[in-house]
């Protein structure tokens, strides 16, 4: 089958690999390269870079709905259009270029968590499970019929770990769904609009830790924003500390939120509105990521009795 894959982010790399491994002919449309790094050199998207390495037909599309974007798609003559972490809304003319339609891999259990950051939203909300859906692309974002779904427990995973897992599972599920489409076995299920929740794009300040919250809420926030935009707090001297990993401690006596209660090889215990949070791995702006024991050997900012601020 001829597949035009519209994708940009790293999340889509397993999908590209799975489509090629299954024997599909793939043409790739992606966002244009952007300046990056200190030299501000143009850097292609992860998918664009991989397509170039593999010698695949590829186009950088400033706007896939523009005449040049539509012309590229029509020249590719796709049987199926697949959209994964592309970053552009697809108009009706684009969706109509493939006779088998246009499908998307969405990393949530729709209709829960439509939007830009569904995995982070699931972790932040304390959902016990999340998953990935294959859906039809329609005019409204993430509102199409569901063709297939796979579930996975959230557990103590970070958003980054879940995204990696769901990227692989979504790729597998897509190839399976294409096979079922070819055999006429796919069933489409409408989403329940009464159950819709939305996941907006994360902002840098969403990583700010509020120590007055329950330790479990602090833990969920750290995991939800890891690796991006990253959890952080401020030392008394104003130095920003990135919190990379830790765990909630509920059986801990009350103290002012943000006060360092205990330090040691196992971590740095910080008082929360209820319980405490044990920081196991952290980083200051001028340093590298360190486990708590190594950090304490070189820094005195987080001594017992000091306070981390919001």
Give mean pLDDT, residues 250-269.
90
Residue 248 to residue 156: CA distance in whole angstroms: 11
Residue 149 has pLDDT above 80, yes or no: yes
> pTM for the complete prediction?
0.95
Q: Please check the confidence at residue 38 and state whether its pLDDT lies above 90.
A: no
Residue 253, pLDDT > 80, answer no
For position 217, what pLDDT does the model report?
Answer: 97
Give the model confidence (pLDDT) of 43-85 as tens digits.
999 999 999 999 999 999 999 999 999 999 999 999 999 999 9
Instruction: Give the pLDDT confidence score for residue 37 in this predicted structure.
Output: 75
pLDDT tier, 36 (very low <50, low <70, confident <90, very high otherwise): confident
pLDDT classification of 301: cutoffs 50, 70, 90: confident
Report the C-alpha gap between 284 and 250 in whole angstroms.
26
pLDDT at 281 over 80: yes
- For the chain, list the domains and their CATH numbers: 2-199 (3.40.50.170), 204-298 (3.10.25.10)
pLDDT in the model for residue 39: 73
Chain Cα centroid distance, residue 141: 17
Average pLDDT of the residues in 102-116: 98
Evaluate if residue 294 carries a pLDDT over 90: yes
Q: What is the mean pLDDT of residues 226-237?
A: 95
Q: What's the pLDDT band for 268 if we cut at 50, 70, 90?
A: very high
- pLDDT > 90? residue 300: no
């Amino acid at each position: 089958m001829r597949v035009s894959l519209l994708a940009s982010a790293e999340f889509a790399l397993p999908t590209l690999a799975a489509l090629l491994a299954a024997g599909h002919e793939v043409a790739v449309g992606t966002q244009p390269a952007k300046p990056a790094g200190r030299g501000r050199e143009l850097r292609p998207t992860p998918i664009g870079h991989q397509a170039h390495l593999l010698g695949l037909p590829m186009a950088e599309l400033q706007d896939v709905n523009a005449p040049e974007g539509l012309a590229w798609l029509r020249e590719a003559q796709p049987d199926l259009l697949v959209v994964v972490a592309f970053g552009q809304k697809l108009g009706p003319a684009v969706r109509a270029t493939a006779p088998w339609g246009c499908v998307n891999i969405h990393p949530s259990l729709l209709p829960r968590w439509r939007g830009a950051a569904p995995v982070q939203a699931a972790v932040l909300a304390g959902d016990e499970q999340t998953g990935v859906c294959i859906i039809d692309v329609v005019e409204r974002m993430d509102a199409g019929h569901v063709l297939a779904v796979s579930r996975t427990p959230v557990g103590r995973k970070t958003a980054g770990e879940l995204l990696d897992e769901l990227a692989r599972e979504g790729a597998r599920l897509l190839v399976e769904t294409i096979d079922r489409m070819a055999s006429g076995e796919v069933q489409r299920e409408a989403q329940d609009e009464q159950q819709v929740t939305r996941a907006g794009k994360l902002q840098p300040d969403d990583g700010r830790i509020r120590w007055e919250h329950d330790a479990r809420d602090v833990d969920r926030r750290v995991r939800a924003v890891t690796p991006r935009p990253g959890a952080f707090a401020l030392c008394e001297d104003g130095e920003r500390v990135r919190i990379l990993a830790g765990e909630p401690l509920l059986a801990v006596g009350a103290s002012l939120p943000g006060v360092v209660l205990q330090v040691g090889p196992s971590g740095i215990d910080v008082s929360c509105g209820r319980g405490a949070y044990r920081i196991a791995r952290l980083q200051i702006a001028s340093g590298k990521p360190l486990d708590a024991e190594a950090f304490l050997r070189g820094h005195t900012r987080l001594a017992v009795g000091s306070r981390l601020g919001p």
